[in-house]
Amino acid sequence: MKSRTDQVIKRVQAEYLDTLLPARDALLARMEAFAAEHNHPIADPEVGQLMKLLVRAKNPKHLIEVGTNIGYSVVVLGRECGAEAVIETIELDRGILATACQFVAEAGLVCEVKFHEGAALEVLPRLAGPFDFVFIDCVKTEYEQYLDQLLPKLEPGAMIVCDNLLWGGKVAELVHDPSTDALRAFNRRITTDPRLASIVLPVGDGVGISIVNA
């Protein structure tokens, strides 16, 4: 989630683009209000809208999310999935995961959702692929390790979406701290790894979209 609306593009542009976002349904609006009230870092609505379009276009069948939080992005992704799809999602915090389970149950998704409690770097090796859609939205210093653990489980054409790649502007401003340095290295990695075709977009707090090459 962005801390400032003008941290990537000019405020007037960010505010204009916000007016073009479709209204969220009652459940997503309630989750956004819950996240704001309890300080949960859910995806920005424009990131949700982007993922909705990507999932609709790709029609993935086995999705993996790293970082569940209250399940906002699970609901966004799941609403675009059919009954044959499975979403797996990983969250460290048991209490937050319980909240996610409740919200996702309310959504009445037709696809299956498998919740995994634990540290992503410990859970990911236990999950069987292949996956065809990935959403990485977790510990910033671990993004490259998530990618390394996931790549052998991704089929050609699989899509990887990563949030917060501009990290409040700090990545471009050459700020140095562990998360910012890790994200800068991650952006270089996804845009130069020969196994991937990637772009980083100024949507939300910066979103990476990669496709696994054939």
Beta pairing partners, 160: 134, 210
Q: Applying CB under 6 A, does 32 fall inside the site for ligand SAM? A: no
Q: Which of 58, 38, 53 is nearest to 103 (CA)?
A: 38
Q: Which stretch binds ligand SAM (CB under 6 A): 8-16, 36-44, 103-111, 149-157?
A: 36-44
In 3D space, the residue among 98, 146, 94 whose CA is nearest the CA of residue 120 turns out to be: 146
**Which residues from 180-199 bind ligand SAM, rule CB under 6 A?**
none
Neighbouring CB atoms inside 10 A of 206's CB total: 24
Residue 206, interface with ligand SAM (CB under 6 A)? no
From the list 8, 42, 54, 212, which residue makes contact with ligand SAM (rule: CB under 6 A)? 42
Among 87, 104, 120, 160, the residue binding ligand SAM under the rule CB under 6 A is 120
Q: Taking CB under 6 A as the rule, does residue 99 contact ligand SAM?
A: no
β 86-91/62-66 pair status? parallel
Minimum CB–partner distance for residue 96 and ligand SAM (Å): 5
- Evaluated on CA atoms 66, 71, 75, 81, the torsion sign reads positive
> Of the candidates 49, 69, 99, 179, which one interacts with ligand SAM according to CB under 6 A?
69
Nearest distance in Å: CB 156, ligand SAM: 25
Identified binder of ligand SAM from the candidate list 46, 80, 88, 91, rule CB under 6 A = 91
- Considering the complex, state which of residue 8 and residue 77 has its C-beta at the smaller distance from ligand SAM: 77
Task: Verify cis geometry, omega within 30 degrees of 0, for the bond prior to 156.
Answer: no
Nearer to ligand SAM among residue 67 and residue 168 (C-beta): 67
* Touching ligand SAM, residues 130-169 (CB under 6 A): 137-139
Sheet holding 196-201, edge to edge: 112-117, 86-91, 62-66, 131-136, 154-163, 207-212, 196-201
Judge whether 8 and 205 are in contact, CB under 8 Å: yes
Q: Which of 54, 55, 60, 73 is in the footprint of ligand SAM by CB under 6 A?
A: 73
Span of 14-22, 66-74, 147-155, 179-187 interacting with ligand SAM by CB under 6 A? 66-74
Decide: helix, strand or coil at residue 86: strand
Tokens read off for 26: 């009652």
The footprint of ligand SAM (CB under 6 A) covers: 41-43, 67, 69, 72-73, 90-93, 96, 119-120, 137-139
